[in-house]
Homo-oligomer: A and B are copies of this chain.
């Protein structure tokens, strides 16, 4: 498995659909996953540290887990079938059991960010769908990296409208 971080939330100008970019922590590869509007907003508010005045669905999800004494161990982008990514949430219950729960990647990532839980990508999904970032990108200063990432987004992902960037 590959440990990943959320590098960005972008908007696909072709159809207005948001895309999250998951970056492998130990290589220059990224995994783009198209997600829903509400989940994208939910993820972006955490990345930008701008909480809504009222709890969003994933804030409530975290409150419910806290109240139930359950903890998110990790989330895994576990499968890809017919162009749909699948995720699995590993939940440790109050009595110490670990349960596996089927989820969408968007919900899983939105919840993982709120609970500071690690995000993994299965080797199989990674091999099928990860895309190379230019190798030099790793050696750049933050500003250069940002520019290079924007170029990568334009060229490789064909997303010309770059909405949000998170280092």
Contact = CB atoms under 8 A, between A and B. Distances in A.
Given A64-B65, A68-B94, A94-B94, 14 more contacts: A37-B37, A38-B39, A39-B57, A53-B84, A55-B102, A55-B104, A57-B61, A60-B61, A60-B89, A60-B104, A64-B89, A67-B91, A68-B68, A68-B70
23 contacts: A38-B57, A39-B57, A54-B84, A55-B102, A55-B107, A60-B61, A60-B104, A60-B107, A61-B61, A63-B102, A64-B64, A64-B65, A64-B70, A64-B91, A64-B101, A67-B70, A67-B93, A67-B99, A68-B94, A69-B95, A70-B70, A93-B94, A94-B94
A57 B54 contact: no
Interface of A: 36-39, 53-55, 57-58, 60-61, 63-65, 67-70, 84, 86, 89, 91, 93-95, 99, 101-104, 107
